[in-house]
């Protein structure tokens, strides 16, 4: 039995500024490329300038003679690099990499920017100049970067019930449309970087990674050394958006170069390379077929999607993630397929699958509402399911209807005139649109340790990482809540594979996964402390039973007596001549589990958007966004709001600006910089309303917390496209929505 | 980036002497002046510019904005864009220039970028900036990748089969309608160049963008006095609200008398291979009743010779709407 304590929450649910904020604003937070070592060398790759062909010859003569150059590595000089085996469990043994081919494995070039050689020199500038001086001769074939996608490989039925084709043909109202999403590049402001240190036996790898444990497991295999000989450190990230979930080839190259040269090697991926060789959200085309009765009851839903993937890797953008359970519909069929292109391997980007999927299905729901003459909010309400009809199990906690009604009320939706272009303000035409959204609510395996220390502080440690979302702060809150110890007395140690194995920062799952593990670890540390209290000579409770003791606000006291009659944690430890006591805790993974769940766990939300439109100058701007989210209990409302707001900003970019353009002739991502790849600027973002409907989902963990990192993006694109239609009468089914789509 | 020599010019003659040793004052120059560096350093990092010597002119006394006796204005070559945009005389008499400058880049870049540098701002054509791609402007004779490639942002006016690169400057569009004069000190002494003669069309030599020769140092720009009763306006249209080059922009200076246009100056940005002043549209509008029909006719004339590429056909209509809207703003309730 864990120690008992009062059940009232003291810090959970209250606004807590980032505990790592002072480190970040003072420049003391060490990001990967901030790590420097004596004798460190700099690596700069030679990037292929073709997307399809072979390397015929690499002339390194001139480059090798340049000042400060230590080596120009090519395929047969970099040393042996192995492939990593696929370990699919989302636990400490996880081993996944989206680009499975080790760098320089063969002479075939399969995407533009693929590394074909590596220059290493004593300064970054000299390494760059040397890389520029390497002359590569290719035999080149035309690349296939064709934007129109047709199913080529791996056609698969993802979910099916009833007979969707038959129901569609028989239906009173039908909709059949195709929705396209271009490739998007993650573009976290912190560039991918690797700093590798080799001591002759073991590697220490400083990495910008969203998963130190997976990164360690993969790199140990690629480098051919035991896992215990690789330590991966990632203390702070300038975000990742999914692009840093899995190792990219610069990591193995930096480590291999460090081993070959016996010096630390730093490899920072340039902004241009960020568009080439570290993943992207793939291009997706989705055909959506909906049918309904005249009163708006869905009778069938079909979603058939194709996403592009690279030549060697089978990346599936799981666009059907939310489709089977979003609405009640008796006949449904969801299929997936891929089409190979000469592009770098795609990888998850914030809200993978669901975000592109909901862009299509929620646009289609809006189009269906128009056909039916039913309000779009009402159409969703009348199709609310009682259970998850895809899995035939109840929802753990679903409050989409409340999100829809609360959002409509806060937005003022009842004042909407559905007629296109009819609403005006200050000489501008208004468009009002909305969409529903959803995201998975699951857990990864999570191990944590909590120590109580004789200086009155506690330390919680786990090998997950904070990618900028607030994990340091959440873990401090969880420990504070359990111990009754002030947040500033809690040290949080993350981002190091020497710590108990923690999960990827992905899928919005870290917080939900941490709750039980951290709480259990803290409880066990308390148990150890009470045992000490019951026997240490200097303890005022020496000789009593531990079961007669309890604790309040970091004070141990006898049950039924006041906290002030007790002894502080630290005094008890000193009494026992203990520097610390500790406890370990763990959570089990639900994600990836083979067993059928008892409950369908998802977060839900509704997003309402106002756009302004000035046809006389073709100017479209987003002027209001209201988001209502059902994500269980919100542990830190500051971080929660921040995540949703950031996702909406990203959604504005996805809807109106973002698109990676591949040159049709050589396959280069041609707009590979932040001036030509347009993302939202501050001026594009209006004030954002964020509301949470808080129903703790205790099926997932005892606090009822789900994840909030991704869901805020999931409805934005459809809501904006729907608002644009309402303002302009133009239905855009291919993102981003551009001026040329609207200038008619 | 390749190694280069960095020297600091002590006076204008020394700068001219250094530059005179350059093979050219155009693409591929072996000697470059640096002031704000907001274009040059970028291009050097990309290996698009590979000067052997970079001559710092920041210490030269060219950073003053001075009223001229005739009511005009003298603007030193190293006056920063931010200082120029916020100068009270500029804001009062040359509003279009202030608006154009503030529509460009970001506050940080405007704090560095200079008047002379902005006159020489290089194109943002993605192929010009990528040395792995053919580009006639960067490497004459290699071909134009933008024709048939990603050309959504590129020019529709003044293009040739050799180059469709857009002049990206906002300031230049305002300078065109203000009829600025560019003052140069060169190996043969000083000379002045009317703004419309300063930039040249790409033709079959797109590597040549201006009339400057080795040794030429832009010392200052002069503006004639603002025409009495004139009003001016700059409108920039782009995908996002800030920090993006124009898809189309328009600068106008208009004088209205008795409901008719007495004098008009009009130029377009984001659509031309040089800052695109349309004297044809100006004369067409002069004497016309203020209002949409005349504005639209002027806009049609300004875009009559437009040659869209595969992705930028929308710019024709966008530029017209931009110009019409700017004219309306400059003439409403005058």
Using pLDDT thresholds of 50, 70 and 90, give the confidence band for residue A8.
low
Mutation for testing the B interface, residue in A109, A130, A611, A616 having most B CBs under 10 Å: A616
Query: SS3 of A95, please?
Result: strand
Q: Whole-structure pTM over 0.80, yes or no?
A: yes
- Mean pLDDT score, B4-25: 97
Using pLDDT thresholds of 50, 70 and 90, give the confidence band for residue A3.
very low
pLDDT score recorded for residue A622? 98
Nearest to B321 among A129, A618, A666 (CB): A618
Nearest to B150 among A616, A670, A678 (CB): A670
**pLDDT for residue A676 is more than 90:** yes
**Which residues of A fall within a CB distance of 8 Å from B243?**
681, 683
Q: Is B41 exposed, middle or buried (0-12, 13-18, 19+ CB in 10 A)?
A: middle
Q: What is the CATH number of the domain that holds B327?
A: 3.30.390.50
Residue among A431, A359, A366 at smallest CA distance from A620: A431
Q: What is the pLDDT of residues A27-47, one digit of tens each?
A: 999 999 999 999 999 999 999
Are the C-beta atoms of B168 and B123 separated by less than 8 Å?
yes
CB pair distance less than 8 Å for A681 and B130: no
Share of chain A above pLDDT 70, in %: 99
Would you identify the CATH topology of the domain A21-27+443-587? Aldehyde Oxidoreductase; domain 4 (3.30.365)
**pLDDT for residue A604 is more than 70:** yes
Nearest to B47 among A132, A673, A681 (CB): A132
pLDDT score recorded for residue B73? 98
- Mean pLDDT score, B290-310: 98
Q: What is the pLDDT of residues B41-81, one digit of tens each?
A: 999 999 999 999 999 999 999 999 999 999 999 999 999 99
CB pair distance less than 8 Å for A670 and B149: yes
Contacts of A591-597 with CB under 8 Å at 24 or more apart are A591/A90, A591/A440, A591/A442, A591/A443, A591/A444, A591/A507, A591/A509, A592/A88, A592/A89, A592/A90, A596/A391, A596/A393, A597/A391, A597/A393
Q: What is the pLDDT of residues A100-149, one digit of tens each?
A: 999 999 999 999 999 999 999 999 999 999 999 999 999 999 999 999 99
The residue annotated as part of the active site, out of A207, A321, A658, A710, is: A710
B150 to chain A, closest Cα gap in Å: 7
Mutation for testing the B interface, residue in A653, A676, A682 having most B CBs under 10 Å: A676
Q: What is the pLDDT of residues A390-403, one digit of tens each?
A: 999 999 999 999 99
- The token duo for A591 is 């994600």
Q: What is the pLDDT of residues A181-219, one digit of tens each?
A: 999 999 999 999 999 999 999 999 999 999 999 999 999
Q: What is the CATH architecture of A32-143+189-274?
A: 2-Layer Sandwich (3.30)
Residues of A engaging B, defined by a Cβ cutoff of 8 Å: 49, 125, 128-129, 132, 616-619, 621, 656-657, 661, 663-666, 668, 670-671, 673, 675-676, 678, 680-684, 738-740, 743
B178 to chain A, closest Cα gap in Å: 24
**pLDDT for residue B283 is more than 70:** yes
pLDDT score recorded for residue B334? 47
B171, part of any domain: no
**pLDDT for residue A721 is more than 70:** yes
CB pair distance less than 8 Å for A740 and B145: no
B190, part of any domain: no
- For residue B321, give the chain A residue with the closest CA: A617
**Which residues of A fall within a CB distance of 8 Å from B3?**
129
Using pLDDT thresholds of 50, 70 and 90, give the confidence band for residue A2.
very low
Nearest to B237 among A132, A619, A664 (CB): A619
Query: What Cα–Cα distance (Å) separates residue A506 from each residue in A17, A212, A250, A351, A707?
Result: 22, 12, 21, 9, 10
- Mean pLDDT score, B14-42: 97
CB pair distance less than 8 Å for A684 and B242: yes
Within 8 A by CB and 6+ apart from A486, the residues are A480
A307 vs A324: CA distance, rounded Å: 19
**Which residues of B fall within a CB distance of 8 Å from A664?**
148-149
- For residue B322, give the chain A residue with the closest CA: A617
Using pLDDT thresholds of 50, 70 and 90, give the confidence band for residue A7.
very low
pLDDT score recorded for residue A87? 80
- Mean pLDDT score, A61-78: 98
The number of folded domains in chain B is: 2
The CATH 3.30.365.10 domain(s) of chain A lie at: 21-27+443-587, 32-143+189-274, 375-439+600-742
- The token duo for A691 is 């509301």
Q: What is the pLDDT of residues A634-669, one digit of tens each?
A: 999 999 999 999 999 999 999 999 999 999 999 999
**Is A184 one of the catalytic residues?**
no
**pLDDT for residue B222 is more than 80:** yes
Q: What is the pLDDT of residues B224-260, one digit of tens each?
A: 999 999 999 999 999 999 999 999 999 999 999 999 9
- The token duo for A326 is 């979003």
CB pair distance less than 8 Å for A683 and B150: no
**Which residues of A fall within a CB distance of 8 Å from B145?**
663, 665
Nearest to A739 among B130, B243, B247 (CB): B247
B192, part of any domain: no
Q: Is the peptide bond before A736 cis (omega within 30 degrees of 0)?
A: yes
A619 to chain B, closest Cα gap in Å: 8
- The token duo for A25 is 């604003």
B25, part of any domain: yes
Residues 136-175 in B contacting A (C-alpha not used; CB under 8 Å)? 145, 148-150, 153
CB pair distance less than 8 Å for B244 and A678: yes
The parent domain of residue B41 ranges over 5-56
Are the C-beta atoms of A506 and A352 separated by less than 8 Å?
no
Helix (H) or strand (E) holding A25: helix A21-25
The per-residue pLDDT of chain A, averaged, comes to 96
Nearest to A129 among B1, B241, B318 (CB): B1
CB pair distance less than 8 Å for B126 and A676: yes
Are the C-beta atoms of A735 and A654 separated by less than 8 Å?
yes
Q: What is the pLDDT of residues B164-181, one digit of tens each?
A: 999 999 999 999 999 999
Would you identify the CATH topology of the domain A375-439+600-742? Aldehyde Oxidoreductase; domain 4 (3.30.365)
The per-residue pLDDT of chain B, averaged, comes to 97
**pLDDT for residue A372 is more than 90:** yes
pLDDT score recorded for residue A4? 45
């Amino acid at each position: 039995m864990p120690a008992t304590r009062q059940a009232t929450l003291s810090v959970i649910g209250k606004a807590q500024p980032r505990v790592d904020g002072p480190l970040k604003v003072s420049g003391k937070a060490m990001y990967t490329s901030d790590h420097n070592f004596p004798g460190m060398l700099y690596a700069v790759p030679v990037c292929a300038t073709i997307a399809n062909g072979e390397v015929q010859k690499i002339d390194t003569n001139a480059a090798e003679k340049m000042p400060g150059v230590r080596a120009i590595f090519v395929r047969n000089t970099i040393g042996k690099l192995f492939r990593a085996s696929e370990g699919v469990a989302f636990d400490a043994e996880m081993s996944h990499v989206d680009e499975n081919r080790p760098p320089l494995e063969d002479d075939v070039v399969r995407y533009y920017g693929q590394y074909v050689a590596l220059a290493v020199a004593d300064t970054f500038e000299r390494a760059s100049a040397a890389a520029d001086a390497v002359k590569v001769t290719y035999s080149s074939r035309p690349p296939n970067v064709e934007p129109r996608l047709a199913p080529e490989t791996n056609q698969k039925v993802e979910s099916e019930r009833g007979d969707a084709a038959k129901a569609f043909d028989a239906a009173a109202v039908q909709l059949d449309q195709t929705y396209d999403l271009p490739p998007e590049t993650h573009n976290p402001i912190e560039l991918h970087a690797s700093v590798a240190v080799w001591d002759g036996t073991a590697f220490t790898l400083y990495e910008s990674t969203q998963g130190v444990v997976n990164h360690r497991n993969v790199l140990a295999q690629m480098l051919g050394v035991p896992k215990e000989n690789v330590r991966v450190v990632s203390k702070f990230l300038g975000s990742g958006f999914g692009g840093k979930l899995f190792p990219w080839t610069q990591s193995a190259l930096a480590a291999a170069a460090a081993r070959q040269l016996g010096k630390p090697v730093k490899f920072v991926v340039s902004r241009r390379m960020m568009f080439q060789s570290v993943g992207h959200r793939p291009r997706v085309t989705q055909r959506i077929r909906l049918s309904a009765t005249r009163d708006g009851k869905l009778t069938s839903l079909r979603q058939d999607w194709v996403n592009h993937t690279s030549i060697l890797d089978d990346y599936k953008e799981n666009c059907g993630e939310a489709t089977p359970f979003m609405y009640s519909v008796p006949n449904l069929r969801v299929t997936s397929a891929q089409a190979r292109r000469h592009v770098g391997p795609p990888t998850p980007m914030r809200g993978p699958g669901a975000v592109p999927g909901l862009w299509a299905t929620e646009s289609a729901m809006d189009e269906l509402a128009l056909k039916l003459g039913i309000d779009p909010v009402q159409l969703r309400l009348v199709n609310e399911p009682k259970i998850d009809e895809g899995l035939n199990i109840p929802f753990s906690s679903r409050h989409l209807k409340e999100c829809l009604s609360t959002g409509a009320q806060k937005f003022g939706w009842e004042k909407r005139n559905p007629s296109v272009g009819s609403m005006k303000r200050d000489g501008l035409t208004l468009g009002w649109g909305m969409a529903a959204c959803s995201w998975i609510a699951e857990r990864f395996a999570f191990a944590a340790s909590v120590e109580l220390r004789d200086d009155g502080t506690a330390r919680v440690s786990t090998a997950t990482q904070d990618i900028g979302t607030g994990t340091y702060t959440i873990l401090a809150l969880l420990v504070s809540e359990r111990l009754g110890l002030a947040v500033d007395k809690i040290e949080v140690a993350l981002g190091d594979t020497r710590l108990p194995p923690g999960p990827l920062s992905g899928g919005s799952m870290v917080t939900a996964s941490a709750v039980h593990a951290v709480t259990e670890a803290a409880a066990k540390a308390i148990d150890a402390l009470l045992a000490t209290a019951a026997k240490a000579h200097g303890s005022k409770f020496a000789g009593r039973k531990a079961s007669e003791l309890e604790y309040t606000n970091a004070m141990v006291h006898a049950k039924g007596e006041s906290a002030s009659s007790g002894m502080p944690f630290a005094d008890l430890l000193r009494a026992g001549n203990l520097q610390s006591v500790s406890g370990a805790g763990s959570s089990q993974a639900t994600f990836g589990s083979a067993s059928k769940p008892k409950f369908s766990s998802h977060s839900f939300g509704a997003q309402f958007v106002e756009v302004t439109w000035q046809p006389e100058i073709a100017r479209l701007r987003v002027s209001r966004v209201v988001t209502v989210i059902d994500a269980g209990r919100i542990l830190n409302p500051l971080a929660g709001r921040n995540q949703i707001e950031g996702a909406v900003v990203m959604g504005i970019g996805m809807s109106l600006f973002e698109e990676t353009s591949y040159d049709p002739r050589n396959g280069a991502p041609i707009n590979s910089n932040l001036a030509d790849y347009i993302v939202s600027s501050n001026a594009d973002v209006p004030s954002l309303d964020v509301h949470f409907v808080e129903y703790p989902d205790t099926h997932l963990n005892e606090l009822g917390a789900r994840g909030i990192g991704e869901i805020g993006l999931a409805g934005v694109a459809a809501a904006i496209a729907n608002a644009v239609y309402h303002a302009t009468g133009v239905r855009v089914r291919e993102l981003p929505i551009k001026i040329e789509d609207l200038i008619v | 980036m390749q190694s280069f020599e960095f020297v600091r010019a002590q006076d204008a003659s020394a700068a001219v002497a250094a530059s005179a040793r350059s093979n050219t004052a155009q693409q591929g120059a072996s000697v470059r002046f640096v002031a704000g560096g907001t274009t040059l350093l970028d291009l050097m990092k990309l290996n698009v510019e590979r000067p052997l010597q970079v001559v710092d002119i920041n210490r030269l006394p060219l950073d003053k904005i001075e009223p001229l006796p005739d009511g005009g204005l003298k603007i030193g070559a190293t006056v920063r864009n931010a200082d120029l945009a916020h100068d009270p005389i500029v804001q009062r008499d040359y509003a279009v220039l202030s608006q154009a400058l503030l529509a460009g880049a970001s506050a940080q870049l405007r704090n560095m970028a200079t008047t002379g540098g902005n006159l020489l701002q290089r194109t943002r054509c993605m192929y010009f900036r990528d040395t792995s791609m053919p580009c006639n402007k960067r490497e004459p004779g290699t071909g134009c990748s933008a024709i048939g490639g990603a050309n959504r942002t590129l020019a529709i006016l003044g293009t040739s089969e050799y180059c469709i690169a857009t002049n990206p400057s906002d300031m230049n569009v305002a300078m065109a309608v203000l009829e600025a004069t560019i003052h140069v000190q060169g190996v043969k002494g000083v000379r002045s160049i009317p703004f419309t003669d300063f930039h040249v069309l790409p033709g079959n030599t797109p590597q040549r963008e201006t009339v400057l020769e080795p040794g030429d140092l832009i010392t200052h720009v002069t503006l004639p006095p603002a025409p009495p009763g004139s009003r001016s306006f700059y409108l920039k249209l782009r995908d996002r609200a800030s920090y993006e080059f124009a898809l189309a922009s328009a600068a106008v200076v208009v004088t209205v008398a008795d409901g008719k246009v007495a004098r008009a100056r009009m130029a377009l940005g984001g659509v031309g291979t040089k800052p695109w002043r349309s004297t044809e549209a100006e004369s067409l509008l002069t004497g016309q009743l203020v209002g949409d029909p005349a504005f639209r006719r002027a806009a049609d004339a300004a875009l009559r010779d437009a040659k869209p590429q595969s992705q930028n056909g929308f710019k024709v209509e966008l530029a017209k709407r931009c110009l019409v809207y700017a004219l309306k703003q400059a003439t409403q309730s005058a």
